[in-house]
Amino acid sequence: MNKVESLQEGSLPIRTEPCHIINTSSRFTLRTKGEAIMDDLHRILSEARKDLMYKNKVRESTYRELRKATSLSKQAILLVHQKRLKEAENSLGKASKIILRIKEGSSTQPSILFCGLYSDALQEYSEAKIFLKLIEESKFLTPSDVDASSSDYVLGLADVIGEYRRAALDALREGQAKKSEKYLGIMDQIYIELMAMDESYMLVPGLRRKCDVARKIIEITRGDVTQEIRRNELEKHLARFEKKLKNSK
């Protein structure tokens, strides 16, 4: 029996697989179905990678803008303390444009609006806007006035208490005890209203901590203001007593 007959009798199975004919540089090459599938996967992942790289680029750019908006809001607060109110308004105008631009561009990447940096920027912006309005007109802004969510507005409002402590201390250094007492009253008012929002502690993460900090700030400020008022009263009493002594001679 020769070798050919042996192969015919053994009837060994021959494994076949579908092939694809691909024309590459005017030459025909045979490729298996498995290789074609892997090519499809490579193309799909390549497109996914491009999309992810683009989104990452947009995200990094957005984060830089948000940090800039936060910085502008902080700058505005410092300018309010320095009584440079017009410059503070200009800084907040720039911050507002950045925030609005990011909000309008979020249609392609809505997840940006739910990142921590966006919320932080809105809180700082809300704090600055509320503080400036109170100093200028002794009036509270609403969340719609600030164009911020209720949670960001409330958290920003809680931080205003700390800014009023600084304003009260500045007034004391300028010898305006009555003004510092007025600022202390506003701090009390904000704190009391926030404390009345019991259900909001569960809905606004971080509000309870901010209120705890605000309570300590108010108590320390109350002690500073009370001490200064008593010192002023003592100085007035001593001045009257000294005047009486001079007149009695």
14 against 244, higher pLDDT: 244
Q: Give percent above pLDDT 90 in the chain.
A: 52
% of the chain at pLDDT higher than 70: 82
**Which amino acid makes up residue 228?**
E
- Among 46-60, 77-91, 192-206, the least confident range: 46-60
More confident residue, 103 or 115: 103
Please report the pLDDT score of residue 183 as a whole number: 96
pLDDT at 12: 47
Q: How far apart are CA 74 and CA 124, in angstroms?
A: 7
> What CA–CA distances, in Å, run from 2 to 7, 10, 13, 20?
9, 13, 19, 36
Where do the structural domains in the chain lie, given as residue ranges?
56-144, 149-230
pTM of the model: 0.76
Report pLDDT digits (tens) over 21-79. Answer: 444 444 444 456 667 777 778 788 888 887 777 777 777 878 899 999 999 999 999 99
pLDDT of 60 reads 81
Span 111-131, average pLDDT: 87
pLDDT of residue 63: 87
Mean of per-residue pLDDT scores for the chain: 83
CATH match for 149-230 among 1.20.58.2140, 1.10.3720.10, 3.40.1110.10, 1.10.357.10: 1.20.58.2140
How far apart (Å, rounded) are the C-alpha atoms in residues 182 and 219?
15
Check pLDDT > 50 for residue 7. Answer: no
- Judge: domain 56-144, CATH 1.20.58.190: yes
Which residue pairs, CB below 8 angstroms and at least 24 apart, start in 114-119?
115/63, 117/63, 117/66, 117/67, 117/70, 118/66, 119/151, 119/152
Do the domains spanning 56-144 and 149-230 agree at the CATH topology level? yes
